[in-house]
Amino acid sequence: MVPVVFFVSVIVFVVMRLLPGDPILALTGLGSEGMDPEAIAHMRKELGLDDPVSVQFGRWFFGVLHGDLGNSTRLHQPVTEIITSRAPATVQLALSAWLFGIVIGVPAGVIAAVKRNSFADVLATLGAMVGIAMPSFWMGILAILLFAVILGWLPSNGFVGLWEDPLGGLRYLILPAVILGLHLTAAIMRQTRSAMLEVLSQDYVRTARAKGLAELKVIGVHGLKNALLPVVTVMGLQLGRLLGGTVIIETMFAVPGLGRTAVQSIQSRDYAALQGVVLVMAVAVLVINLLTDLLYARLDPRISYR
């Protein structure tokens, strides 16, 4: 984990160094003619831009470890403040999408596996195939067209925190969350189905049935519990993908979250904010993956981490 976090920050630093424009000129907002070359040289020295790249990286990394991500040039406030104020919307959106994916995907996968080759199975499998190929932005467009423009049931953009107004918040959250979660739902359904098929053909399931256990108990206790392991991996891995998906969904539905902040930062060349959001998202994905691994160990007593 530690070396990976180190590499993550190296990548973020390198990408930031590639960004166009002289930081001094960006900072002062003046053209290169408008400034005394001596003053520029002085500022470069002041800001440590003359130091070797490794020293600059060390200084920046030290700041990151202390929660200092620099200042946003667009909003004129520390990047950490921007991130803490924008994160709740993204977390609410991503978690609702994730929950939607689990609540729909797992039962659909179980039903498809138990009733293999039934009409429901074919329907679920085709649905998953479509769900995986469907671009979220196009799905979003179709959903806005249907639910906001034609039917007028739901708002097409905006956001209200769930804590401030649970019901109103849900009205705003439902479209973006469902669309964001669609891909995850399809992936979870496929994984649940194939894992359940594998488990249900095991001898212990036959034994459970032979000793007269109720079918529901066989599927739930002997089947699903053992099939859940690979499903949990998908849930964890896909949560990272979900965070990436927020970039498009938040921009589309005008949700004031981290993804939209990233897009706005690029448009206004606010690279400190962009860099902060990218770093925070990557670390969040790493933490989620770590938690998934730990959960995996808890679910499967055969796995242990020393």
Partner 1 sequence: MATETSNSAALTPIMFVPRRQPVGMVGFLRQVIRVRLALAGLVVLAVVVFATIFANWVAPYDPIQVDGYRSLEAPSWSHPLGLDKYGRDVLSRIIYGGRVSLPVGMVAVAIAAAVGVPLGIVSAYFGGKLDAVIMAATDALYSFPSLLLALALVAALGPSIINIMIAIGITTIPVYARVVRSQALSVREHEYVLAARTIGSRDWRIMTRHIWPNVTAPIIVQSSLGMAAAVLAEAGLNFLGVGVRQPTPTWGSMLNEGFPLLRRAPWLSISPGLMIFLVVLALNVVGDALRDVLDPQLRHSRGTEV
Contacts to partner 1 from residues 201-220, by CB under 8 A: 201, 205-206, 209-210, 215
Among residues 27, 39, 41, 142, the one that binds partner 1 under rule CB under 8 A: 142
Residue 78 is classified by DSSP as: B
Question: Which 231-260 residues touch partner 1, going by CB under 8 A?
Answer: 234, 237, 240-241, 243-245, 247-248, 251-252, 259
Over its C-alpha atoms, the chain yields an Rg (Å, rounded) of: 24
* Tokens describing residue 104: 């729909």
Q: Determine, following the binding rule CB under 8 A, whether residue 8 of this chain makes contact with partner 1.
A: yes
Q: What is the size of the binding site for partner 1 (CB under 8 A)? A: 78
Length of the chain: 306
Among residues 7, 62, 153, 204, the one that binds partner 1 under rule CB under 8 A: 7
Give the shortest CB-110-to-partner 1 separation in angstroms: 12
Give the shortest CB-270-to-partner 1 separation in angstroms: 10
d(CA 17, CA 28): 18
Nearer residue to partner 1 within complex by CB, 10 or 41:
10
Question: Which 76-105 residues touch partner 1, going by CB under 8 A?
Answer: none
Q: Determine, following the binding rule CB under 8 A, whether residue 163 of this chain makes contact with partner 1.
A: no
Count other C-beta atoms under 10 Å from residue 155's C-beta. 18
Report the DSSP beta bridge partners of residue 78: 71
Nearer residue to partner 1 within complex by CB, 157 or 169:
157
d(CA 132, CA 29): 45
d(CA 176, CA 147): 12
∠ CA 21-27-32, nearest 5°, is 60
Among residues 27, 41, 53, 130, the one that binds partner 1 under rule CB under 8 A: 130
d(CA 220, CA 44): 65
Which amino acid is it at 53?
V
Q: Which span (6-14, 81-89, 99-107, 292-300) binds partner 1, by CB under 8 A?
A: 6-14
Nearer residue to partner 1 within complex by CB, 157 or 170:
157
Among residues 57, 137, 147, 296, the one that binds partner 1 under rule CB under 8 A: 137
Nearer residue to partner 1 within complex by CB, 30 or 129:
129
* Tokens describing residue 280: 């925070």
128: which residues sit within 8 A by CB, 6+ positions away?
185, 186, 187, 189, 190
d(CA 97, CA 306): 33
Give the shortest CB-152-to-partner 1 separation in angstroms: 11
Report the DSSP beta bridge partners of residue 152: none
Phi-psi region of 234 (alpha: psi -120 to 50; beta: other; left: phi over 0): alpha
Question: Which 14-73 residues touch partner 1, going by CB under 8 A?
Answer: 15-16, 18-20
Q: Determine, following the binding rule CB under 8 A, whether residue 151 of this chain makes contact with partner 1.
A: no
Q: Determine, following the binding rule CB under 8 A, whether residue 194 of this chain makes contact with partner 1.
A: yes
Nearer residue to partner 1 within complex by CB, 29 or 152:
152
Q: Which span (28-36, 43-51, 140-148, 294-302) binds partner 1, by CB under 8 A?
A: 140-148
Site track 256-295 with partner 1 (rule: CB under 8 A), x = hit: ---x--xx--xx---x--xx-xx--xxx-xx--x------
d(CA 195, CA 188): 10
18 burial level (CB within 10 Å; 0-12, 13-18, 19+): exposed
Q: Which span (34-42, 80-88, 99-107, 144-152) binds partner 1, by CB under 8 A?
A: 144-152
